Amino acid sequence: MAAPEEPELSQAQTEKLLQFQDLTGLESMDQCRRTLEQHNWNIEAAVQDRLNEQEGVPSVFNPPPPRPLQGLLGWSYYMIMLPFRFTYYTLLDIFRFALRFVRPDPRGRVTDPVGDVVSFIHSFEEKYGRSHPVFYQGTYSQALNDAKRELRYLLVYLHGDDHQDTDEFCRSTLCTEEVITFINTQMLFWSCSTSRPEGYRASQALRENMYPFLAMIVLKDGKMTMVGRLEGLIQPEDLINQLTFIMEANQTYLMSERMDREQRNQTQEIRKRQDEEFEASLRADQEKERKKKEEQEQKRQEEEKVRQCVLMEERRRRKLEEDKERKSECLPPEPQADDPESVKIVFKLPNNARVERRFLFGQSLTVIHDFLFSLKETPEKFQIVTNFPRRVLPCLPSEEQPNPPTLKEAGLSRCEVLFVQDLTDD
């Protein structure tokens, strides 16, 4: 009878399977899969159980086979001791956790993170030379932010100063020409020693198990996620192959992020353009409204000016009529024709009308002016001119002649023709 086929693994399970194999060094893929399935694909629990086996602690999922004579007794002993062993390791973890508060690790105090990175780079170059991948000269957080902004892979290398494989990895793998070219052209590269506070802080975040340690980080589902980790000594070709595999396995996430970001940028650009068009339209409407208000205000002012002019003209005309009526009332009576002191004057008005009236020789020329002023046909401003010889009669007071002369003093005869000239437009 044929054995049933195992179900296909999902992409997430495949990634966990490869990661578990890298962490534990197991060559059998079937054994790695069985271990992960026993732990419900909890990679942390599976790795811890595998480390316990390496330290001589029996696995709770893979107990050692019972001896022929003591199988049942050994199995019973294992089951009895299981709660005590669980309690022991729990108390041990609690003790280690409390110890960190009593005797804190001095590396936990990060005072100059950039200085830690720069100092590590200088010490690295002094020991291994200047031929190496380009180090990111900034903090771990800054490297994450730049990789996220630029949508690039970030390769993190945690340098273990005292580990036995560190020198060989740096000289034979990290500083080889093919690895340098691959890293410089494909990703950002950040590194620091775990003996320095900034490197220790990155170590606490990445939780490496052994050295040399490399972690591949990329933007996935909106956050910077570690998508691959390489631990232990590795050859240049294998390093490039595994990094390439990790990049290809996560390329869809990076492409999706690029498309989402491009779409967001396009949406923002469209919204920005719409906002600019709206602002331009709003400014045009505001300018149009402003001009409309200015035109309305100018029209109102002009109408008000016309109204004021009409009112002033009306008041001026009314005052003129009142002045004419008052002058007419104040005129002395016209003398009789047979009065030897009387003077007959014929006035020729600007409209060619003729007016006749008698005055006395002893009356002032002002009386003549007042008479003419009281007439409706007479213009508002005028002067009286003799025919021959032509001269203007000084009918109104002036600085040179405060008291106008009488008709006799002006040289008028008993019968005169005088011309009224309009001065209104002058």
Which tens digits make up the pLDDT trace of 319-358?
Answer: 888 888 898 888 999 999 889 999 999 999 999 899 999 9
Contact 393, 386 (CB under 8 A): yes
Of 32-36, 188-192, 214-218, give the lowest mean pLDDT range. Answer: 32-36
Contact 179, 212 (CB under 8 A): no
Q: Which two tokens stand for residue 410?
A: 């002006």
Mean pLDDT of 224-244: 94
Those residues with Cβ within 8 angstroms of residue 368's Cβ, 6 or more apart along the chain or in another chain: 345, 359, 384, 393, 395, 407, 418
The partner residues of 348 in beta bridges, in order of sequence, read 354, 419
Give the pLDDT score at 3: 44
Coil vs helix vs strand at 238: helix
- Examine the pLDDT at 311 and tell me if it is beyond 80: yes
Angle between helices 43-54 and 11-24 (to 10 degrees): 20
67/33: higher pLDDT: 33
Confidence band of 280 (pLDDT split at 50, 70, 90): very high
Confidence band of 69 (pLDDT split at 50, 70, 90): very low
Contact 198, 116 (CB under 8 A): yes
Mean pLDDT of 153-178: 95
Those residues with Cβ within 8 angstroms of residue 392's Cβ, 6 or more apart along the chain or in another chain: 383, 384, 385
Contact 236, 176 (CB under 8 A): yes
Beta-strand pair 415-422/382-386: antiparallel
- Examine the pLDDT at 167 and tell me if it is beyond 60: yes
Give the pLDDT score at 20: 76
Residue with token string 């050692």? 64
Q: What is the pLDDT of residues 356-377, one digit of tens each?
A: 999 999 999 999 999 999 998 8
- Examine the pLDDT at 400 and tell me if it is beyond 70: yes
Give the pLDDT score at 148: 93
CATH of domain 342-422: 3.10.20.90
- Examine the pLDDT at 96 and tell me if it is beyond 50: yes
Angle between helices 236-249 and 11-24 (to 10 degrees): 160
Contact 173, 205 (CB under 8 A): no
For domain 107-260, the question of CATH label 3.40.30.10 is answered with yes
- Cα(189)–Cα(181) distance, integer angstroms: 12
Give the pLDDT score at 292: 92
- Examine the pLDDT at 224 and tell me if it is beyond 70: yes
- Examine the pLDDT at 28 and tell me if it is beyond 60: yes
Percent of the chain with pLDDT over 70: 85
Give the pLDDT score at 146: 95
Confidence band of 68 (pLDDT split at 50, 70, 90): very low
For residues 35-50, b (16+ Cβ closer than 10 Å) or e, as one string?
A: bbebbebebeebbebb
Taking CB atoms within 8 Å and a gap of at least 24, the contacts of 90-96 are none
- Examine the pLDDT at 94 and tell me if it is beyond 70: yes
Query: Cis link prior to 236 (omega < 30° from 0)?
Result: no
Residue spans per domain, the chain:
11-65+82-104, 107-260, 342-422
| Global pTM exceeds 0.85 | no
Mean pLDDT of 414-426: 88
- Cα(354)–Cα(133) distance, integer angstroms: 120
Contact 254, 219 (CB under 8 A): yes
Mean pLDDT of 150-160: 95
Give the pLDDT score at 219: 92
Element (H, E) at 286: helix 251-330
Q: How far, rounded to the nearest angstrom, does the alpha carbon of residue 139 sit from its chain's CA centroid?
A: 28
Of 88-97, 172-181, 251-260, 320-329, give the lowest mean pLDDT range. Answer: 88-97
Coil vs helix vs strand at 58: coil
Contact 175, 131 (CB under 8 A): yes
Q: How many residues does the chain have?
A: 426
- Cα(419)–Cα(29) distance, integer angstroms: 136
- Examine the pLDDT at 283 and tell me if it is beyond 70: yes
Residue with token string 């409209």? 351
For domain 11-65+82-104, the question of CATH label 3.30.70.1350 is answered with no
Q: Which two tokens stand for residue 95?
A: 């003790």
Other Cβ atoms closer than 10 A to 401 = 10
- Examine the pLDDT at 70 and tell me if it is beyond 70: no
